[in-house]
Amino acid sequence: MKHATFEKGVVEMGHGAGGRDMADLIRHLFVTAFDNPDLTGEEDQAILSFPAGRMAISTDAFVVSPMFFPGGDIGALAVNGTVNDVAMGGADPVALSASFILEEGLPLADLARVVGSMAQAARTAGVHIVTGDTKVVERGKGDGIFITTTGFGQVREGVSLSARNGRPGDVVLVSGTLGDHGVAVMGRREGFDFDTNIVSDCAALNGLAGALLDAVPQTRLMRDPTRGGLAAVLNEIAEASRVGIAIREDALPIRPGVAGACEILGLDPLYVANEGKLVAVVPPEQAEIALAALRAHPLGREAAIIGELRADPDHFVEMETAFGGRRMVDWIAGEQLPRIC
């Protein structure tokens, strides 16, 4: 990045003003890092060829604080988070857009690091970042970097997933341990020096989701338990499918270090965000096949069957506790975990 545009080493208002400095930043930083034939920085839009069929579209804004955390950063999160929402629709992600809101004074080295990990994450997930946007706001009107990604993917033939598809008797699986991302971010934010094993699970789930659908095309639905954690996803499924859900505390995969950190931080792992896990609901007769398919994938080795759907006019989510009691699992309340993604 040797260029007049980068002389001061920080983002300036001029980098968002539509002139030479912005064009240089786009060309020499973003387009160079994202490196793919669909992104030239010369047009107002990207043009891609699509075969006929169903397309999945999803968007997320990323505002995580701090922007670097154990196991990832806002850039990797912005790519993986949107790849995952597209993949949860039974689609193979193809392309992403990426919009940046930068705060004046942001070190360009931080921006370059974030952009580098976006490029790396996109390569790993097999998607191209094909178009973007760069805005700059005055110091104190933003917070370093906000990124919005939007993803597009082709929905697989014969697959039709929906939060409404669950039926009593269906089985609920989770692809691995719960709470890692949220605890890693909160720990860093609060300045705790936890066990170095507590790192974000931030990862692209399209490979894992594809492996599950290959094995069990009858999968009813998939969700990634991000904000609001497993509790939010189960409540959304219960409402949309008009069922109750029963899960078993014993069956939930949670790292002991994460459980301990949750106690210190006053968090409940059921409500903590994950960024590399999926929840799947499958017909009961497919449950073991689904479990085996998840476990056979590097990102699903700790997958588990955690409960099942049942008839319940109240659409309650209940957990059988480790001590044999029962506990309601309600939505997250208030603002337990701000700016986690």
Applying CB under 5 A, which residues contact Mg ion?
44, 60, 81, 85, 133, 224, 226
Q: Which is nearer to ligand ATP, 149 or 219 (CB)?
A: 149
State how far the Cα of 266 lies from the Cα of 331, in Å rounded to an integer.
17
**Chosen residue from 75, 81, 179, 187 binding ligand ATP by CB under 6 A:** 81
Residue 57 binds to a copy of itself (criterion: CB under 8 A)? yes
State the nearest-atom distance from the C-beta of 44 to ligand ATP, in Å.
4
Interactions with ligand ATP, residue window 200-219 (CB under 6 A):
none
Give the 3-state secondary structure of residue 4: helix
Instruction: Output 57 or 292, the one with its CB closest to a copy of itself.
Output: 57
- What, of Mg ion, ligand ATP, a copy of itself, none, does residue 219 touch, CB below 5 to 8 Å by kind? none
Q: Which stretch binds a copy of itself (CB under 8 A): 66-74, 117-125, 148-156, 288-296?
A: 148-156
DSSP letters, 139-204, are TTSS-SEEEEEEEEEEEPTT----TT---TT-EEEE-S-SSHHHHHHHHHHHT----TT-------
DSSP codes of every residue in 284-341? GGGHHHHHHHHHTSGGGTT-EEEEEEE--TT--EEEE-TTS-EEE-----TTSSTT--
Q: What single-letter amino acid sits at 222?
A: M
Sign of the Cα pseudo-torsion (334, 337, 338, 339, in order): negative
* Site track for a copy of itself across 158-197, x = CB under 8 A: ----xxx---------------------------------
- Residue 143 binding result from a copy of itself, Mg ion, ligand ATP, none, given CB thresholds of 5 to 8 Å by partner type: a copy of itself
Closer to ligand ATP at the Cβ: 17 or 311?
A: 17
Contact characters 29-48, ligand ATP, x per CB under 6 A: -xx--x----x-x-xx----
* Dmax (CA) of the chain: 67
Q: Are 102 and 11 in contact (CB under 8 A)?
A: yes
List the x/- string, 113-142, binding to ligand ATP by CB under 6 A: ------------------xxxx--------
Nearer to a copy of itself, 5 or 286 (CB): 5
Tell me whether residue 1 or residue 155 sits nearer to a copy of itself (CB atom): 155
Place of tokens 């705060």: 103
Structure tokens at 208: 């894992």
Residue span 34-53 as binding mask against a copy of itself, x where in contact by CB under 8 A, dash where not: --------xxxxxxxxxxxx
Alpha-carbon span 295 to 293, nearest angstrom: 6
Write the binding mask 238 to 277 for a copy of itself: x where contact by CB under 8 A, - elsewhere. Answer: --x--------------------------------x----
Smallest separation, CB 165 to a copy of itself (Å) = 11
Q: Tokens 């070190």 correspond to what residue?
A: 107
The DSSP secondary structure of 241-272, one letter per residue, reads HT-EEEEEGGG----HHHHHHHHHHT--GGGS
Q: Which of 6, 11, 26, 60 touches a copy of itself (CB under 8 A)?
A: 60
Within 13 Å of residue 237, how many CA atoms lie on the same side as its CB?
A: 35
Secondary structure class of 31 (helix, strand, coil): helix
Binding residue count for a copy of itself, defined by CB under 8 A: 85
Residues across the chain: 341
Query: Residue 245 or residue 341: which is nearer to ligand ATP going by CB?
Result: 341
Residues that bind ligand ATP (CB under 6 A): 18, 26, 30-31, 34, 39, 41, 43-44, 60, 81, 85, 98, 100, 131-134, 226-227, 341
